[in-house]
Amino acid sequence: MTEFFKNIPAIRYEGPDATSEFAFRYYNPDEVILGKRMEDHLRFAVAYWHSFAWPGGDPFGGQTFDRPWFGDSMDLARLKADVAFEMFDILGVPFYCFHDADMRPEGATFAESKRNLDAMVDYLGQKQADHKTQLLWGTANMFSNRRWMSGAATNPDPDVYAYAAATVKANMDATLTLGGQNYVLWGGREGYETLLNTDLAAERAHAGRFLQQVVEYKHKIGFKGAILIEPKPQEPSKHQYDYDVATVYGFLKDFGLEKEVQVNIEQGHAILAGHSFEHEIAMAASLGIFGSIDMNRNDYQSGWDTDQFPNNHAEKALAFYEILRAGGYTTGGTNFDAKVRRQSLDAEDLILAHVGGMDTCARALKCAAAMLESDELEANRRARYAGWETDAAKAMLEGGLEAAAARVTAEGLEPQPVSGRQERLENLWNKYI
Ligand code: XLS
Ligand code: NI
Ligand code: NI
């Protein structure tokens, strides 16, 4: 045991009236909801980067956290992993996620970085064998180091494309070795700052070919998990090619990948794209590409990806409602892509942030399940579209514009507007919260 979380107990479910801060009020892993254990519905994951690698900087100042594992040696990387698994045990989370750069020191050469990665994969593999927590997904950090400043697969320099290929290959191998259930690609630098120096068509073509190569390699090594793209409209690049779910779907179609690649949807990214989280989930489900989520919340005033822990179960209930309607996760899960604020210095802050986030999601899931089980919303939706069940309506979609138009005169159609009942439906949502 390290000293970092000393005196913090393992968190258990104690119900809504729990008196201790260090208890779950809503997250009860074994409670069965819609025929499935809560833990299996939610599939929580901790993000290695925010909790263990982020120093607490902002655009105006540097490190605020003083963690005993900060530094570049392999010994410190192992200490970081020890602390990480202590936190996973305290929380009882089934999964974690990492970028290579979060868990291994960067080497002076690619070969040295790769040796560090392989050594840490061995170490994490041992940790996974001794603990409950397993890998939800792995990914490559192709945005922090200055070599990526003009992009990874979309870099004007083909040598950087090669470096990106080597990096993703190494991380896919690492994810396979650790039994990861998904491999994620988020392209923070796959975009541009100004069109004045950018060949947009070439960059997009290179990004598409790169993703095809990733999928080819997945099949070659027998990786059974899902390949996930994480959409985000901007930040750090001014414009990113994976703008939102619909844009990603168009991109996948263009490169013949819509059956091979799914999406990892993040609340904060949805907001930056001008959508709601639930819109992005529903869109992905309707297109057959829903994979996983990055759970967090944005500050609604700031206009950037603030990655705060969720604390609004009413809002998240709408997201979980769409996840339940989509049939729930398969390989995906609820990854807390969220960090404590830079003034939240204590070990307790790190634990309680996750406890609050997990409770918020558990409460949201329970609301969503009750909304679905009552069938009130779905009955209303079915009734609203019931007209499309008739033969005449279905025939219109088969025939041409003239046949559809002919119905108006033949049947003397004069459509009567019907209430959309929005407030009544919102009252139902409120009822289950
Ligand atoms: C950044 C992204 C990132 C991905 C993984 O905004 O959310 O953290 O989830 O690279
Ligand atoms: Ni994310
Ligand atoms: Ni993000």
Assess whether 99 carries a catalytic annotation: yes
Structural domain contains residue 270: yes
Per-residue pLDDT, averaged over 218-231, amounts to 98
Q: Are residues 154 and 239 in the same domain?
A: yes
What CATH number is attached to the domain comprising 138?
3.20.20.150
Among 57, 61, 115, 54, smallest CA distance to 80 is for 54
Statement to judge: residues 359 and 396 lie in one domain:
no
Q: Is the distance from the beta carbon of residue 307 to the nearest atom of ligand 1 less than 6 Å? A: no
Tell me, yes or no, whether 316 and 424 share the same domain.
no
Reported in sequence order, the residue ranges of 241-310 that DSSP labels E, i.e. its strands, are: 261-266, 290-295
Q: Residue 141 above 90 pLDDT? A: yes
Residue at a domain's end among 374, 401, 421: 374
Arithmetic mean of pLDDT, 196-219: 98
Residue 231 resides in a domain: yes
DSSP letters, 175-217, are HHHTT-SEEEE--TTSEES-GGG--HHHHHHHHHHHHHHHHHH
**Residue 260: pLDDT over 90:** yes
Give 396-433 pLDDT, tens digit per residue.
999 999 999 999 999 999 999 999 999 999 999 999 99
Q: Is residue 295 part of a domain?
A: yes
Q: Is 35 left (phi over 0), alpha (psi -120 to 50) or beta?
A: left
Query: Which among 51, 96, 186 is the best mutation to test ligand 1's pocket, defined by most ligand atoms within 8 Å of the CB?
Result: 186
Are residues 299 and 328 located together in one domain of the fold?
A: yes
- Answer whether residue 3 is part of any domain: no
Residue 379 within a domain: no
Regarding whether 411 and 322 lie in a shared domain, the answer is no
Answer yes or no: is the C-beta of 186 below 6 A from any ligand 1 atom. yes
- What average pLDDT does this structure show over 208-215? 99
Percent above pLDDT 70 for the chain: 100
Q: Are residues 351 and 413 in the same domain?
A: no
pLDDT of residue 171: 99
Does 300 have pLDDT greater than 90? no
Binning pLDDT at 50, 70 and 90, where does residue 301 land?
confident
Q: What is the pLDDT of residues 317-358, one digit of tens each?
A: 999 999 999 999 999 999 999 999 999 999 999 999 999 999
Q: Is residue 228 part of a domain?
A: yes
User: Atom of ligand 1 at shortest distance to CA of 264?
Assistant: 9
- pLDDT bin (cut points 50, 70, 90) of residue 302 is confident
196 C-alpha vs ligand 1 centroid, how far in Å?
A: 27
pLDDT score, position 210: 99
> Which tokens belong to 256?
């013949």
Q: Is the pLDDT of residue 167 over 90?
A: yes
Mean pLDDT of the chain: 97
Going by the DSSP 8-state scheme, the letter that residue 10 receives in this structure is P
The tens digit of pLDDT for each residue in 245-258 reads 999 999 999 999 99
End-to-end CA distance of the chain: 40
Ligand 2 centre and the CA of 267: distance in Å? 9
Report in angstroms the alpha-carbon separations of 125 from 2, 98, 106, 221.
Answer: 19, 13, 20, 19
Q: Are residues 44 and 137 in the same domain?
A: yes
Report residue 314 as tokens. 């009413």
- Work out the pLDDT band at 29, boundaries 50, 70, 90: very high
Domain around 210: 12-374
Residue 230 Cβ contacting ligand 1 at under 6 Å: yes
| CA atoms within 13 A of residue 171's CA, in its CB half-sphere | 26
Mean pLDDT, residues 122-151: 98
Q: Is the pLDDT at 42 greater than 90, yes or no?
A: yes
Using the structure block, give the residue that is written with the tokens 């809503």: 26
User: What residues contact residue 130 under an 8 Å CB cut-off, 6+ apart?
Assistant: none
118 lies in the same domain as 262? yes
Residue 16 sits in the same domain as residue 93? yes
Supply the residue whose CA is at minimum distance from atom 3 of ligand 1.
186
Cβ of residue 242 lying under 6 Å from some atom of ligand 1: no
Same domain assignment for residues 274 and 145:
yes
Residue 303 has pLDDT above 90, yes or no: no
The answer to whether residues 200 and 155 belong to one domain is yes
Residues 267 and 415 grouped into a single domain: no
Is 2 a domain residue? Answer: no
Tally of domains in the chain? 2
Q: Judge whether 236 lies within some domain.
A: yes
